[in-house]
């Protein structure tokens, strides 16, 4: 099994744990932040063309040193070659362990080099890497390199899938990436998340488990996917509960591409009653608070107020089901919450 050597790298207040890397690889990876030369140590290459030639070497250590130097040189001409190394990575099959190989060491050095260069061509490839690689330390490193590079508007749709990653560390890094992006559309997404994203079990480097269906007590819309990043469960360890969720015991959010009216009709059939307008519901239960302005991301909305005395299976005295157009996520959102 992989040797577990832990090191810490602090970037923007975030401590990233790189487990599973050999001490030699850790020192090489962190050396990207070091001066371009060390007294008494000669690099294997000094120019981009010379380093690119060495990427064809049979000696994996020479290739690794060449990639390290390319990261130090920070020349965008190296990006296509580094991306090719990442694309050819052989993915593992375990979240917490990895059989380290010379080539797996090389891809880590290549990702660090891409982060040092800061070319946004790397972002889609790194996103794909996070989606495919189960080993969490590699995935967190790739996510951190995305944050280091920075994003633009066109990157956000891909980042949303990572923002819903079941692993808390990946979600935290990607949320910070979107939040810190200096872009009008990114700021729109930030508004959608900043007041609703629970800082849930981020103190635990763990996988978040979706709630059991029986704990919700309401049938789910077929095919709707659970959104970790705009949900808050009683079972999660809360480092910080968003202000806009302080009036709820828990809130679970789902998203579907189905039209709003179709989803509303589905639940009208289940509950055997007509849906209420969202404004009617918020006269009684508004978890956002009366002082908050109307969120711009919410379009037309409807919902239901369900009471335990009227419906078997509910675990809370009152359950509020809200169905609305989510303009940022681009679909129909379904939130099921238990008011305090």
Domain boundaries, the chain: 8-194, 213-339
Better-predicted residue by pLDDT, 207 or 2 = 207
* pLDDT range class, residue 168, cuts 50, 70, 90: confident
Structure tokens at 283: 């006269």
Helix extents (H) in the chain: 23-30, 48-54, 60-73, 79-87, 102-117, 122-132, 136-149, 156-163, 168-180, 184-194, 213-216, 260-271, 278-282
Better-predicted residue by pLDDT, 46 or 40 = 46
The predicted pLDDT at position 161 comes to 86
**What does pLDDT average to over the chain?**
80
Residue (of 53, 61, 45, 146) closest to 103 by Cα position: 61
Mean pLDDT computed over 259-270: 97
Mean pLDDT computed over 257-269: 97
The predicted pLDDT at position 133 comes to 94
Containing 238, the helix (H) or strand (E) segment is strand 238-240
Tell me if residue 214 falls in helix, strand or coil. Answer: helix
45 in Cβ contact with 57 (< 8 Å): no
The predicted pLDDT at position 334 comes to 95
Better-predicted residue by pLDDT, 249 or 113 = 113
The predicted pLDDT at position 10 comes to 29
CATH number of 8-194: 1.25.10
Span 194-245, pLDDT tens digits: 666 655 544 456 677 777 777 888 999 999 999 888 887 777 666 566 666 6
Cα–Cα dist 103/59, whole Å: 11
* pLDDT range class, residue 288, cuts 50, 70, 90: low
On the 0-12 / 13-18 / 19+ scale of CB atoms within 10 A, 31 is middle
Instruction: Return the bridge partners of 199, or none.
Output: 240
Better-predicted residue by pLDDT, 34 or 298 = 298
Highest mean pLDDT among 92-106, 137-151, 237-251: 137-151
């Amino acid at each position: 099994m992989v040797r577990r050597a832990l090191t810490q790298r602090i970037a923007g207040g975030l401590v990233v744990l790189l487990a599973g890397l050999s001490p030699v690889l850790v020192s090489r990876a962190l050396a990207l932040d070091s001066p371009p030369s060390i007294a008494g140590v000669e690099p294997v290459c000094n120019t981009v063309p010379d380093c690119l030639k060495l990427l064809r070497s049979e000696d994996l250590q020479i290739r690794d040193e060449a990639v390290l130097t390319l990261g130090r040189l920070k020349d965008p001409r190296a990006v296509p070659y580094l991306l090719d190394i990442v694309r050819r990575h052989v993915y593992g099959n375990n979240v917490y362990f990895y059989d380290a190989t010379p080539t797996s060491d090389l891809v880590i050095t290549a990702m660090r080099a891409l982060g040092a260069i800061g070319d946004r061509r790397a972002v889609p490839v790194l996103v794909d890497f996070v989606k495919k690689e189960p080993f969490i330390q590699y995935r967190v490193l790739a996510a951190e390199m995305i944050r280091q590079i920075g994003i633009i508007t066109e990157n956000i749709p891909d980042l949303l899938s990572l923002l819903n990653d079941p692993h808390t560390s990946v979600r935290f890094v990607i949320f910070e990436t979107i939040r810190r992006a200096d872009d009008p559309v990114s700021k729109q997404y930030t508004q959608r998340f900043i007041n609703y994203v629970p800082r849930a079990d981020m103190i635990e480097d763990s996988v978040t488990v979706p709630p059991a269906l029986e704990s919700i007590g309401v049938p789910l819309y077929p095919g709707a996917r659970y959104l970790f990043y705009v949900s808050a469960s009683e079972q999660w360890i809360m480092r910080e509960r968003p202000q806009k969720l302080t009036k709820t015991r828990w809130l679970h959010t789902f998203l579907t591409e189905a039209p709003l009216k179709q989803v509303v009709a589905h639940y009208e059939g289940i509950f055997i009653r007509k849906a209420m307008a969202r404004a009617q519901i918020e006269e009684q239960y508004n978890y956002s608070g009366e002082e908050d302005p109307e969120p711009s991301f919410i379009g037309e909305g409807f919902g239901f107020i369900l009471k335990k005395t009227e419906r078997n299976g509910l675990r809370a005295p009152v359950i509020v089901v809200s169905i609305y157009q989510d303009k940022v996520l681009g679909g129909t959102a379904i939130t099921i919450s238990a008011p305090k």
